[in-house]
Structure formats: C-alpha cells, structure tokens
Structure 1
C-alpha cells in the first residue's frame, strides 16, 4: 500500500468519525437538550405567571405581621406551667363574680402536649344575659391566662322572670376553651390580673322587637331551648 493511499484512508476515517459525531450532536443530542430547555422555560414561565401580584400580597401580609407584632407588644400574659381544672374553676369563678350572675358548668376534656408548650381543653356551658356573657368572654380573652375560645355557640331564650314577672332574654352558651401552658422556666411573670381588663358595653342582637307574653315556668317544665338531645347508638 502506497503512502498516499494510506493517508487517504486515515483522512477518510477521521472525516467519517467527525461526521458521525457531528451528526449525532446535530440531529440527536442538541434537539433533546433543546426540548428539555424549552420544557424548563415553559415551567419557569408558568411559575412567573403564577407569581403575578405576589408583591402586593406580600406587602399586605407584611403589614398584617407588623400590625400583629405591635399588638402583641401591648399584650401582657402569664404562661403557666400547668393549669389544673380546680385552678381554672377558681379563675372562672372570679370572672363570673366580676361579670355578674351567670350559671356556669365546667368540664375537663383533656390535655394536649406539644414540643415546648401545650394546652388544656375545657368545656364551659351556662347561661346569662348577653351583657354578662359578653363580659365573661372578654375577660377570658383579655385576662392574664393565655386562653383561646376554640368553639362558641350561643342562642337566645325568652322567658318571664318568676320574681319580677318581667320578660327577659337569656343567652345559653356552649364553648370549648383551650388554656395554654409552657415548659419554659425562664419566662417572666407579668403583673396583670382580671381587674386590669376593661369591660365594654354591647347591645344584644337577640333582643326581640316584639316580646311574647310567656307565663313563668313555676313548675320546672321541660324547656326545649335549654334541652340538649343526646343519644347512645
């Protein structure tokens, strides 16, 4: 084989390899990469479109956070280590004594323990005038203990007072109260009590425009508005 023929064969082989590699890159590798990039670009476009208006939402949320932070700076609460049912009953008795004459039944529902804090769950049932129930709820929320009214159900009941013979509207209520406690021993004690809670007057939305002429329940008959239906299946 001559030197010229051998060089021609080597050159042809090199050109063939270059053509194969280039063809693979042009017809297979680059199109695949292009499709993948186009797919990523499409996903980014969707994300950008989904973020339209998020700046305004962020500004609104930032304002809410700043407002809540300023509000929490003025709140004085005591994080107790544990809240027993007896202690809460005494606390509730003080609230009722200040709010007025309210019938109250307290039931302990259990305790939830989380990482650094927990809460005790209580069921509170009773009835009273709207002003007194409103004062009780206000003191539960604004008092020194960290309480959260998880559920609250109220309704109106019109009756005649057996003593004064006047018609009155009572408010039976049922609520689930969460009283929080913490496991931090270094929290400072806040010098607050129930006397620091300012009571605000409120008009009852349950006052009827026309009252019914109801006779007083002197025979302790069953009253549907006060009754609770329970069944065991």
Structure 2
C-alpha cells in the first residue's frame, strides 16, 4: 500500500485497522454502558430502595403484630362485654319498636313518635325524634328510667311535663321530649349480642309532684269495699273483727285489710274497739268503731 510516496507494510496497516476497530468497539461499549446500562442500573437501584423500604415497613408491622393483636383482642373484649350498645342501623322503626317494648306493664304510657332527622359522625350517627304523650306519672318515670338505663343508647333532652287536661286521671301527666338514639355506621359490635333485656335505676323516685295533696272529691267505692261509716261492728277477737257492711253482708277483717278509703289499722279487744285509717281526699282521718250493745 502506498500513501504519498510512503509504503505501509501489512503489519502496520493491520495494526491501524485493529486500533480503529478497537476504538469503535470501545466507544460503542462506553456508550452502551453510559447511556443504557447506567440508566438501567439507576432504575434498578431506585426499585431496590423502594422495595427495601416496603420490606422494612412490612417487617415492622409483622414485628408489632403480637402487640397489636393483643390490643385488638382487649378492645374486642371490652366492646363485647360493655353494658351499652348502639342501634345496628338508622332505621327509625327499630327505635319505635324499642319504645313500644319498654311501654309495657307498669311502664305503659301512650305516646306519639315523630322522626326529626339523622345526624352522621365518623363511626356512628344519631336519630333525633320527638316523643309526646300522656300516661300515669309513676309509669312514665319507669318508662324514662328504663329507656335511659337499658342496653341501647338513648338520651332524653328538653323534657317537659304538665298536668293532664281536665277529665283525665289525677295521676296522669302529659309529656314531651327530644330523643337521641345512637346507631353504628361501621360494624363496632355484633348485633346478635344486643339483647332486649331492660334495666332500671332502683333509686329513682316515682313520687308524683303533680298529684294534689287535698282533693275536692273522693273516688267512688267501685270494688264495693266495707264502708266504715255505713257499717256496724258486731264482734271481735284478738286478731279479727266482724262487720255488717253497707249492704247488710257480714265481713271478717284483720289488721291491714283494705276498706273503702283506707284500711283496718288496729284491734283493741280489751276495749272492744277497732280503729280504721281513712284517706278522704288527701286528709287522713282515724275512725273508731265500737261493738254495738
């Protein structure tokens, strides 16, 4: 080979070709490593870092599982054994039915139910209802007592009590109040564990402040009890007396037995008298009967 009068041997020529080839190979390798492999390595490194963080987080959760599980089981045990519970949902029919279940026997009242609205919180909600009605005062106290102290959570607000309209029983009152009934929005409790057992606070007084101490009229003798003022004492023993009542029938009474407006308080066999305690419209009188000679 000639180049401007120079003749290159095959060895030199091959060396130059080899060097050029090596240069291109080296450049290509560098470019491959620099622009492809490095980017891929950086991506892999980033992925490794993220996976390591995820692993560390999951490992920390795994390591804390025994303690978390113990805390959870304790919380479940507290909830399951708590004496209060939320309504399972926001169905007002459940509240109405619950009130009807309470209003039985010596807690019976007559009431109307009106749903006002439903307020939602994070994990629970509140059904607001207006309740109004009429009933015997002692029954109403037991109704409210049971409602507030039984398992399902109900709160009474803005309670109003008034004397009944004319013609009603003297023991009756009219009432109205706002009822807040709490229900669950997330499954906090097993609804199968909610029972309908009712509880009352026995220390709550049922004395009726609306009942008049002195009344202008006295109740009729509906049970045809012995009317002391229209009867005659015809005999007595140490524990019993014998009375001819207002209808001419003979009755045997012992201490504590009921008569019209009261009861037989005592028997004095020595003096041959019987003493009765009578409540005449709120005024208590002691009436004494003697054996007729």
Deviations 1:155-193 (A, max 9, x none): 1237556xxxxx623110001000011223142454542
Q: Aligned in 2, Cα 1:106/1:212: closer, same or farther, shift over 3 Å?
A: farther
> Are 1:194 and 2:200 counterparts?
no
The aligned counterpart of 1:136 is: 143
After superposition, the C-alpha distances for 1:80-131 in whole angstroms (9 at most, x for unaligned) are 3313222211111111114444211001111001122110011111011111
Single out whichever of 126-135 and 190-199 deviates more from structure 2: 190-199
* Residue pair 1:120, 1:178 contacting (<8 A) in 2 also: yes
CA distance in 2, matches of 1:145, 1:98: 20
State TM-score, norm by structure 1. Answer: 0.51
Which consecutive residues of structure 1, in runs of 5 or more, have no partner in the other structure?
1-73, 162-166, 215-233
Q: Specify the SS of the correspondent of 1:157.
A: coil
Higher strand share: 2
**Number of aligned residues:** 138
Structure 2 residue 180 is matched with structure 1 residue 178: yes
TM-score by length of 2: 0.41
Q: Does 1:206 align with 2:213?
A: no
Let me know the Cα RMSD of the aligned residues: 3.0
Q: Partners in 2 of 1:196 and 1:101 — Cα distance?
A: 15
State the secondary structure of the residue aligned to 1:168.
coil
User: Quick one: higher RCO (CA 8 Å, sep 6+), 1 or 2?
Assistant: 1
C-alpha contact (below 8 Å) 1:152/1:176 kept by paired residues: yes
- Structure with the higher fraction of residues in helix conformation: 1
Partner of 2:84: 77
Say which of 112, 115, 124 aligns to 1:108: 115
